[in-house]
């Protein structure tokens, strides 16, 4: 059956915040050390310690915002351990992730330098679980205060006289779990207390972020909104796509049985329900949608690659992960009235990474290519879309064959991202453009697909799954008749004259 999609080019529904295409980097496994930071003395080409190859790839992908230092690490991190001469910085064990030595060589200055290099916004996550109000207040002062103050003087002594601009600041992470195992009532009070001292200095304006729920913990959302909505600019949501039946048996990233294809995509699609239900709770306290919902941890979580440190969360990344990314980003776009940011976990070498490294080698994953193809949606206007889509499977296990999202950018170019969730068959799609003032004259397409459900790139074969030109369509009047390849992510760029 043909899938029918109507895009109303004259009905913009709001701005797709570029930060929906955001990322997350934690002191976990080889994300920071080796993935991003190799140090100035490394043989791996670097600029002031940051890998050149990784930085160039991230800039090309237009990374808009980067969250750091965790994750669970954030609520164990004491920022003063990571400033000053590197040889004097504390060496300690990263007890949460893999039991390896953390030498604190990547700290506040290095993170802010990385963000400057990548031209992305920093999003710093403070420590509530094992930190103090004073420590958090000092960090904000150190980062942003201009003038005479103990923290500004300390910053200057460490080589940075001028303050940085920091917009996004998180007050704790997963405080319902690794961040202190708190009850929502208790955390809500702590949030109110801690955020009081997260101050705006000079012209710097901080966007205060409260720790939100895990997955479908609607009670947490309700409690936080009820008790603390006045004090927050955003609240977070964490949801991971775990293909297997439990955290003990998550399933492998490659070589998985065929039935796990649909199971995984079904679980990724659950994001739609989560955002709708959490937003409905938020609407009761914030009908004007002032407060953002930040999905600041999402993505696939598979078993670690055999032979790797279980605490390093290193996994391969296949066309199945690319579909999870495409579907999730389409969902976030559609909810851009509430979802102001999303940060896939994690940037390099951890979970659904866009980049994997091995020594001096680097490979871009299928997920990277999705982010690169979808960057055209950043800051564009979401367009109204109507759809009649074939279902795959039956009953509760059914999934739609197609996931879609469309936007129009400042220059009037329309981009339509289409995922074919069917791993066995191509999908016929008719996309009708309505409301165009000018006639549609050209369509260009890029597609990402594979010949295997676990197709992926390796350090030996870096381009096995990479985007190619998409030509399987006809444009007749204002309708695009396309046949999407099986298991594919496609972006169409439309020009009217």
Chain residues in the site for ligand AHR (CB under 6 A): 26, 70-72, 173-174, 297, 345-346, 351
Strand partners, 7: 385, 433
Residues 131 and 180: their CA atoms lie apart, in Å, by 11
- Written as one string, the DSSP assignment of 323-341 is HHHHHHHHHHHHTTTTEEE
Query: By C-beta, is 330 or 346 nearer to ligand AHR?
Result: 346
Closer Cβ to ligand AHR, 346 or 417, answer by number: 346
CB of 71 or CB of 485, closer to ligand AHR:
71
Residue among 34, 135, 141, 297 flagged as catalytic: 297
CA atoms within 13 A on the CB side of 462: 11
Nearer to ligand AHR, 26 or 34 (CB): 26
Strands, E assignment, 196-326: 207-210, 234-241, 292-300
Three-state secondary structure call for residue 483: strand
To the nearest whole angstrom, how small is the minimum distance from the Cβ of residue 115 to ligand AHR?
A: 19
Measure the CA–CA gap between 104 and 88, rounded to whole angstroms. Answer: 10
Task: Name the token pair of 288.
Answer: 């004007």
Known catalytic residue: 174?
Answer: yes
In whole angstroms, give the CA distance from residue 258 to residue 260.
Answer: 5
Q: Of 155 and 302, which CB lies nearer to ligand AHR in the complex structure? A: 302
The partner residues of 186 in beta bridges, in order of sequence, read: none
Kindly state the smallest distance separating residue 383's Cβ from ligand AHR, in Å.
32
Shortest approach of ligand AHR to residue 203 CB, angstroms? Answer: 31
Q: How far apart are CA 57 and CA 255, in angstroms?
A: 28
Q: What's the CA gap between 426 and 22, in Å, rounded?
A: 30
Q: In this complex, which beta carbon is closest to ligand AHR, that of residue 134 or of residue 246?
A: 246
Q: Is the CB of residue 365 less than 8 Å from the CB of residue 319? A: no
Distances (CA, A) of 495 to 9, 386, 415, 441: 12, 20, 9, 6
Known catalytic membership, residue 26? no
Q: How far is the CB of 295 from ligand AHR (least distance, A)?
A: 12
**Cβ–Cβ < 8 Å for 62, 121:** no
Which residues are 358's β-sheet partners?
361
Closest residue to ligand AHR using C-beta atoms: 71
Catalytic residue set:
174, 297
């Amino acid at each position: 059956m043909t899938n029918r999609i109507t895009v109303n080019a004259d009905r913009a529904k709001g701005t797709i915040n570029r930060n929906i295409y955001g990322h997350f980097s934690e002191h976990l496994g080889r994300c920071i050390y080796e993935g991003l930071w190799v140090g100035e003395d490394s043989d791996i080409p670097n600029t002031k310690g940051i890998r050149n190859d990784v930085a160039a790839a991230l800039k090309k992908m237009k990374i808009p915002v980067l969250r750091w230092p965790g994750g669970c690490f954030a609520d164990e991190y004491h920022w003063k351990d990571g400033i000053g001469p590197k040889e004097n910085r504390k060496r300690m064990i990263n007890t949460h992730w893999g039991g390896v030595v953390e030498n604190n060589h990547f700290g506040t200055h290095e993170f802010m330098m990385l963000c400057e290099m990548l031209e992305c916004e920093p999003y710093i996550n403070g420590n509530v679980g094992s930190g103090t109000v004073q420590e958090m207040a000092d960090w904000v002062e150190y980062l942003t205060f201009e003038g005479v103050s103990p923290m500004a003087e300390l910053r200057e002594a460490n080589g940075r006289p001028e303050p940085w601009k920091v917009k996004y600041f998180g007050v704790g992470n997963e405080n319902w779990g690794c961040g202190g195992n708190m009850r929502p009532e208790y955390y809500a009070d702590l949030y109110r207390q801690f955020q009081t001292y997260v101050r705006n200095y000079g012209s710097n304006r901080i966007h205060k972020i409260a720790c939100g729920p895990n997955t479908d913990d609607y009670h947490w959302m309700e409690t936080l909104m009820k008790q603390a909505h006045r004090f927050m600019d955003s609240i977070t949501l964490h949801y991971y796509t775990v293909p297997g039946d439990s955290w003990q048996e998550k399933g492998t990233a490659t070589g998985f049985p065929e039935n796990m294809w649909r199971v995984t995509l079904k679980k990724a699609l659950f994001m739609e329900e989560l955002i709708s239900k959490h937003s409905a709770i938020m609407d009761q306290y914030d009908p004007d949608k002032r407060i953002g919902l930040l999905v600041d941890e999402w993505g696939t979580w598979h078993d670690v690659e055999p032979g790797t440190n279980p605490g390093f969360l290193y996994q391969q990344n296949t066309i199945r992960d690319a579909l999870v990314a495409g579907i999730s980003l389409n969902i976030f776009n559609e909810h851009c009235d509430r979802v102001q940011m999303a940060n896939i976990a994690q940037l390099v070498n951890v979970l659904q990474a866009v980049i994997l490294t091995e020594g001096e080698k680097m490979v871009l994953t299928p997920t990277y290519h999705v982010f690169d193809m979808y960057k055209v949606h950043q800051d564009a206007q979401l367009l109204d879309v109507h759809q009649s889509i074939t279902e795959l499977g039956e009953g509760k296990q059914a999934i739609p064959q197609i996931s879609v999202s469309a936007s129009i950018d400042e220059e009037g170019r329309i981009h339509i991202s289409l995922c074919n969730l069917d791993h066995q068959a191509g999908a016929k799609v008719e996309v009708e453009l309505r409301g165009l003032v000018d006639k549609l004259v050209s369509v260009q397409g890029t597609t990402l697909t594979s010949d295997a459900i676990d197709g992926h790139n390796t350090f030996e074969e870096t381009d096995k799954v990479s985007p190619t030109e998409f030509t399987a369509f006809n444009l007749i009047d204002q309708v695009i008749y396309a046949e999407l390849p099986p298991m594919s992510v496609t972006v169409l760029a439309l020009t009217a004259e």
